[in-house]
A and B are shown apart, each in its own frame.
Chain A
């Protein structure tokens, strides 16, 4: 039968080829382009920390805050990154539990993206508060003053949600890496061998190790799965628990989770479409994988579309004039451009993915994924800024005008994220060697069984 040839989820290489192709991405001497990329990212990171230094010295007023908009670009960017951090876990954990084959080729990169995105996001609650040096007051640590955080505050829930997610997702990433690092260890020499050896935690590939390892991985996947849903739900409650029109909605948790996955998948595509070319692993991450990613995007994008529509419906149906005004102004108020950017980039652009030809056209997908990133940033901007701009008393309504401090931190966050990701893909296997290999014998066995 032609099952083998036609099932695109099956790798076409042999064990040795997989190892070679993946290890090559690490052992190859970095190109000039790589240095330029890493250098740019490092520079942006410095810009961010320099700006943070200025904020520490002079105060948050350097950014473009304008009451009543007390949260603006920083919180927008925070939610943006937290959202990005959702696709990785969804693909690596939930799809793992569902035995979805197509995840194998892309899950490592999405998982790395998740960890770095959460690392980026976690900076923002600290950057955005007025007295950054006292951020630890949000942690429930024993202290002589008997002061305890307010567990009623969604911001405290947020602290727990993010720290839990960061811990679990980074553990998951590192555990998944162990056998692959061992593979790298066996292909390098000198101090690198020592370093990878240390990181591989003494992995020898023995049966007992594999048995424990697969159990542990399964367990971690199960642990991660609820977090995918809970973390962004909690983040959404930062807004939904308030009484701000435009924030106070029961729809927020599912709406945010869908948005998060949507934005995460978008970012995955933005990252790996160029990456597979640069690392010359097009044969490992194929149209088939993108087709599936695109379908996931289409699903979550459609949920978002529904949520947007439902928000308007609820605003109208509630009869609440404050809510109605907020949504009217979202479309036709001073921030209409942000509102329409969000709707066009998210709700409308994602609908293009109904067409299979677009789903497998990587150029189109890349463009769409960039639109998704922009759209999702604007979604958060619309929710955060657009709702605060016009709540109850018209007398205090206002608009913001972001400054260099806003843009430097925003650009710097991409630098910080990009730096980690750039360093990662050049030093760790960006495709999971062992899982790909796992699929080859499975494939052959089943092919043989079916074939004869």
Chain B
């Protein structure tokens, strides 16, 4: 065993071996492995020598959710150090969300199992050898005589196809299960159009977007793609933008980015959709009009809390803006009437003429079945119908409500096997664990949708002792023989490549495959667009029922960071604050201020929620973005296993839910709860201080009508009747005339104003920024920022060089609640207040306009931070660099960036390592750095494309164009620090009359 451990862990020798075999060359993209894992040949053009210090990039596919985004994996000296989006990939076009980027922490997770483990009679885990493990599994499967159940996660891959065939050949049953399934939508599509596949939504083309509970910027659907599309249409461009409306009981991040949030009770979204469809169908004289006749706005408005006029105006605007787009679904709208809701929204899209325009069929995104079939499977387990159960890529004992007695049913199976790489709840209940390789360690693929096959190749030697589950299946087949004797490929890799060969159909398959691997997959040139035939699904509305008689509707919603819980073991995601509540590392219950007053609870107070299915205790977060009759809670925490970061952290709201009720999906929003105070308090790990701008104009905005006129934010505030900061009298103005210019001239002294260097600057378009925080994760990954943990966050010592500031506007006195988001990083001021106060010149100005920070020189007086009006400097209070990266997490560190020890100040460097890298490349090629060549990590990761960076002395640079935009402003201009970051004011698609400009006075 010792030998095995040695050969499968990553020690220095192993490392060098990988180094030797991977080789390196000019950092060309498109590494491609053509041979066994042990002999990676990553380059099409082979180099003579390994060049340490030069990154090698491989294309792969993300497996953190089922969207199938393409990856570019940056590897240095044989180890992946950063995941970025693949620009050629049709789904994500070079962008990546926080979860995808944190996939690296799944690869290097310190809790990954070192090898196969078997539970002994005492219930303890024994480490065993692979041969032994496979022999045990084969023996049990051989003896099971077809009484085999397989639960598989991601369904649409060559592996899953093989697993299905393998299971069927053995006489077993396989269920593909994903917790956040879109079963309700499929069933609704069956009702509307007689087909169960899902469409692809084109947010970029939509001019009017209405979401009925679908969190399309968070977890519903292909979020990176949707965010990209949303930014393209809803970002201010060419004098206009789309309008977005969110209908649902809670203001999610998606709702916070909409121009209007219609706060309706859970379940009544359907009525709004039907009423809208009624108005539009009547207007267009659509054939469906008759079936909608019972749902005129006047008839249904009462139950929604909206007025009929509101719905009519909404519907008419929706109809007028062609193409428009309505979406529904997701956990937040998954109540018992979810099928009716999705059906109603389908009709709305149909009557508005969106089918084939913004809603296209024919390239169904890959989805697994969800709860529809998992429930019967567990029922059969409970009856003892299975001898063996194999769980792959799923954690049903965590993601299904405890009240469903799934664990009890699972325990009835005599032999349970998991392929989890980390001991999760399901694996802990198993008898044998055969840890699978991580997606970056194995050959695999994902048939994301028709025409898009994402390929995965090993880009690193296995970090821990896993084995590809495909190989396990083949080895078991060899031992068991008989019905599965046909599974005789020498390895899963060989099988996979055989399947690819059928798909690629090239004469020189090896070269074609290399090319495909370099691109990241096989992408068809065009996407199909099928016109669905209308089916006569009856229009109906039944008021959804709720279990229990509590006073409040309980609404669990998926956390955009933890997703179905799989993100909970990654410190990057745990420390990245929730975009809405800005809470890290914790669970919470969202309570409306009025409800909080009624219950007499305050933030941080622990309350006990009781439903007919269970009870839990969690801390209160008072949030005006949830209906007073609703309590909301994020999913994803509350693990009882799943490694050191997840175990025992937070609360799992599923404990309050009932199991699936036969419709085919888990009704998440189907419970009423009662609340009891406990008198206990919990410190809230919030990173926001005061969530109001106090009229300081930090995140500025303007209505679209003013933006279209080319107004500056100041002009817009004036037009809105806001007294601006300019309150000086005539006399005072004369007195200070020329003062500002003199100040600027003085500040140029010693600032290299006329030097031949470039001067780096950044611009952020707040009309595109959604606050999703992908840039924050990118920054952590690029700059080796340590995570500090919950205890340190209590003291606000998080080190995020880049933070998303979130301010609330309105929400009181009948004003609608609105959110403002802006990334705030070091502003690299020309007239930086941090520099003169440093006694040892650790903070200084570089010739290219950056605020340098010399860690080695810093003695830690922290005066620079006191004097920084943006408070973007972060101090190493303790030895975070010794605790943040337990092995092998340290392998994720970027070798181009030093780690900082305690006692020194650190901050955003504008990714100086990337600037210098681009400058070195340019110099080698004897040219200037081109515009767009330096891409900061935050800019690279941003799914909305809200950030641009470049040399402000280059008049043609994109950053200069952005900075010249009429919407441009700098934060805290009155301090005269002259930041290098320009923000373009957010544009609100609201009537100017509704714009008060309260953020500035």
A binding-site residues for B, Cβ under 8 Å: 58-62, 64-68, 70-71, 128-132, 134-135, 137-138, 147-150, 152-156, 159, 238, 241-244, 319, 321-322, 325, 388, 390-398, 401
Contact = CB atoms under 8 A, between A and B. Distances in A.
Given A70-B865, A138-B840, A155-B861, A321 B805 contact: no
B837 interface: yes
Contacts, number: 174
A389 B836 CA distance: 22
Contact of B841 (A65, A147, A321): A147
Contacts of B688: 395
B865 A393 contact: no
Contacts of B692: 394
Contacts of B690: 390, 394-395, 397
A153 B838 contact: yes
B917 interface: no
A71 B807 contact: no
B866 interface: yes
A74 B903 CA distance: 15
B709 interface: no
A66 B866 contact: no
A394 B693 contact: yes
A147 B839 CA distance: 11
B839 A138 contact: yes
A60 B692 CA distance: 31
B878 A59 contact: yes
Interface stretch (B313-321, B336-344, B868-876, B959-967): B868-876
B833 interface: yes
A68 B871 contact: yes
A299 to B, nearest CB: 32
Interface stretch (B137-145, B563-571, B792-800): B792-800
Given A59-B878, A70-B862, A131-B859, A149 B689 contact: no
B727 A319 contact: yes
Given A61-B878, A150-B840, A393-B698, A243 B867 contact: yes
A130 B696 contact: no
B285 interface: no
Interface in B836-852: 836-841
A390 B695 CA distance: 15
B879 interface: yes
Nearest to A58: B878
Contacts of A138: 839-840, 859
A344 to B, nearest CB: 27
Interface residues of B, number: 53
A244 B839 contact: no
Nearest to B879: A59
Contact of B863 (A64, A65, A147, A155): A155
A58 B877 CA distance: 9
Given A68-B871, A397-B690, 20 more contacts: A60-B875, A60-B877, A65-B877, A67-B874, A68-B689, A130-B904, A131-B903, A137-B857, A138-B859, A147-B857, A150-B838, A150-B840, A153-B839, A242-B863, A388-B866, A392-B975, A393-B824, A394-B807, A398-B796, A401-B795
Contacts of A61: 792, 795, 797, 877-878, 902
Interface string B611-643: 000000000000000000000000000000000
Nearest to B699: A395
Contacts of B693: 394
Nearest to B798: A67
Contact of A130 (B824, B870, B876): B876
A396 B795 CA distance: 12
Contacts of A70: 862-863, 865-866, 875
B878 A244 contact: no
Contacts of B537: none
A129 B860 contact: yes
Given A130-B858, A397-B690, A59 B902 contact: yes
Contacts of A244: 866-867
B875 A152 contact: no
A3 to B, nearest CB: 57
A243 B834 CA distance: 10
A236 to B, nearest CB: 14
Given A393-B824, A398-B796, A150 B862 contact: no
Nearest to A245: B869
A156 B904 CA distance: 18
Given A135-B859, A395-B806, A58 B866 contact: no
Instruction: Name the residue in A155, A238, A394, A401 with the highest tally of chain B Cβ atoms < 10 Å from its Cβ.
Output: A394
B867 A242 contact: yes
Interface of B: 688-696, 698, 727, 792, 795-797, 803, 805-807, 824, 833, 836-841, 857-863, 865-867, 869-871, 874-879, 902-905, 971-972, 975
B355 to A, nearest CB: 43
A67 B878 contact: no
A146 to B, nearest CB: 11
A241 B688 CA distance: 28
A257 to B, nearest CB: 22
B795 A394 contact: no
Given A131-B858, A243-B869, A392-B975, A398 B878 contact: no
Nearest to B840: A137
Contacts of B857: 137, 147
B833 A393 contact: no
Nearest to B903: A130
Given A137-B859, A394-B689, A394-B693, A71 B876 contact: no
A392 B972 contact: yes
A395 B879 contact: no
Contact of A321 (B689, B696, B824): B696
10 closest Cβ contacts across the A-B interface? A130-B860, A61-B877, A130-B903, A397-B689, A59-B902, A61-B878, A394-B690, A70-B862, A131-B903, A155-B839
A391 B869 contact: yes
Nearest to B698: A393
Contacts of A147: 840-841, 857
A65 B797 CA distance: 9
Given A137-B840, A152-B836, A243-B975, A67 B867 contact: no
Contacts of B975: 243, 392
Contacts of B863: 70, 153-155, 238, 242
Given A67-B797, A71-B862, A130-B858, A393 B837 contact: no
Nearest to A138: B839
A66 B861 contact: no
Instruction: Name the residue in B797, B839, B863, B905 with the highest tally of chain A Cβ atoms < 10 Å from its Cβ.
Output: B839
27 contacts: A59-B876, A59-B877, A60-B875, A62-B878, A66-B795, A68-B689, A70-B865, A71-B866, A131-B859, A137-B859, A138-B840, A147-B857, A148-B841, A150-B838, A154-B837, A154-B863, A156-B839, A242-B833, A244-B866, A322-B696, A393-B871, A394-B690, A395-B689, A395-B803, A395-B824, A396-B871, A397-B689
B693 to A, nearest CB: 7
A68 B879 contact: no
A137 B856 CA distance: 12
Contacts of A135: 859
B975 to A, nearest CB: 6
Nearest to B874: A67
B833 A243 contact: yes
Nearest to A57: B879
B694 A325 contact: yes
Contacts of B904: 130-131
Contacts of A243: 833, 867, 869, 975
Contact of A395 (B807, B866, B878): B807
Contacts of B797: 61, 65-67
Given A59-B879, A59-B902, A395-B806, A129 B859 contact: yes
Contacts of B833: 242-243
A76 to B, nearest CB: 13
Contacts of A393: 696, 698, 805, 824, 869-871, 971-972
A432 B972 CA distance: 58
